[in-house]
Amino acid sequence: MLDLRFIRGNADKVKAGLQARRAQVDIEGLLKLDYQRRQLIVELDELKARKNTANEDIGRLIKEKLDPKLKIASMKAIARQIDAMEPVIKGLEERIHDILAAVPNLPHHSVPVGGPEANQECGRWGGAPELGFQPKTHMAIAEDLDIIDFKRGTKLSGSNFILYKDAGARLERALYNFMLDLHTGRHGYREMFPPVLANTASMTGTGQLPKMKEDMYRIEGEDLYLVPTAEVPLTNIHRDEMLNEEDLPLYYTAYTACFRREAGSYGKDTRGLVRVHQFNKVELVKFVRPENSYEELESLVANARTVFELLGIPYRVLLLAGGDLSFAAAKCYDIEVYAAGLDRWLEASSCSNFEDFQARRANISYKGKDGKKKGFVHTINGSGVALPRTMIAILENYQTAEGEVIVPEALRPYMGGLSRITRRS
């Protein structure tokens, strides 16, 4: 959430930032409501001062055994004005809050201007595998090896739900265990295992609500949503807390199942693993000092890149343009993996700096050694990494002419030493 005082003092900068994001927000209307609210508060304070003076006068008249009726009538008239004004101010404050909650973060100055067409490639590792034969898609490979059952996944839950089987299930488990061990052992993250249900306050704190309500799965009759990412519970661990500056930075990682309705994506990538409603992901979240946040973003991107390098998966890194940023991000890198069968680049990790946008919404501040509040922390998060498209890349890039799949060396200890996936007899 942007600071209303910042918007008030930097209206042109805010409008330019929103234009760069291609976001439509009535900033002038917001400022008019804010001005009206502040004017009424001044009037309310004056009325309260007059009421206090009248009360003092009434007490003095009574003490002096004089008739206080006129003063009492005057005080009651002022009280009625106060009673009428307070709900008006409260209504304005609620309208202002609702508008602020829908204002996206402003892009960092280093973010390219434009939409997805302006995204900039800023790194690449590995090349397309030289298979020597026409590669199959992951759907065909999974069905031939009988390791993913798309039809029965649909039967169990509906379209875009997946049933992993045998070596497919084991490979999925190997992937997130490998990632958790990497991020905790080499990169210094603290492992968490949070709930996969989060309340409205948590969803609002990280910016999923109210903007992306239609993409969420809500539990009927409860103030609970299935998490779209572990970013939500991990970030909200410190909601309404003041952290100690000497404890920063804090690094957390977690594996969770993630749930997304993808309400605006029907008809896109409906087959296979490219776009599913439930998927597994390892998340990375950082709480950092503002002055270090962009260095911390780069190191988080490096942590995610390491996953693909150890798995031997070709990838490229894109710096997203303002019009392609998520609601809460000030800067974001997408890491896309290459899949030989689909012959496509697929986003498998998204790493963002939210600056103090989430921390302000979730009220996560920090204090110095003197105990005084220094401001809001900066939050950073990224996929470390998402499994469906990583699975696609492994199946399609490591396939053999015989129809088998070679297991990447980094995963073999998690697969009981298995080096190849073959069809069960």
Kindly state the tokens that stand for 182.
């990497």
Rounded-to-integer distance, Cα 280 and Cα 385, Å: 9
Q: Which amino acid does the sequence have at 114? A: G
Residue 143 catalytic? no
The span from the CA of 62 to the CA of 402, in Å, is 103
Cβ contact 316:121 at 8 Å: yes
Q: Please say whether the beta carbons of 179 and 383 come within 8 A.
A: no
Q: How many CB atoms lie within 10 A of CB 125?
A: 14
347 φ, ψ (degrees, to nearest 5): -65, 125
Q: Which of 202, 293, 349, 350 is catalytic?
A: 350
CA–CA gap between residue 83 and residue 66 (Å, rounded): 28
For the question of residue 260 being annotated catalytic, the response is yes
The catalytically annotated residue of 43, 309, 347, 404 is 347
Cα separation, 135 vs 398, in Å, equals 10
Given the residues 21, 170, 260, 360, the one annotated as active site: 260
Among residues 21, 170, 261, 275, the one annotated as catalytic is 275
Per the DSSP assignment, residues forming a β-bridge with 121 are 318
Q: How far does the chain reach from its first CA to its final CA, in angstroms?
A: 57
Closest CA to 108 of 304, 351, 294, 271: 294
Residue matched to tokens 């490229």: 316
3-state secondary structure (DSSP) of residue 2: coil
The CA-based diameter of the chain, rounded to the nearest angstrom, is 108
Is 350 marked active-site?
Answer: yes
Catalytic residue list contains 186: no
Active site members: 260, 275, 347, 350, 389
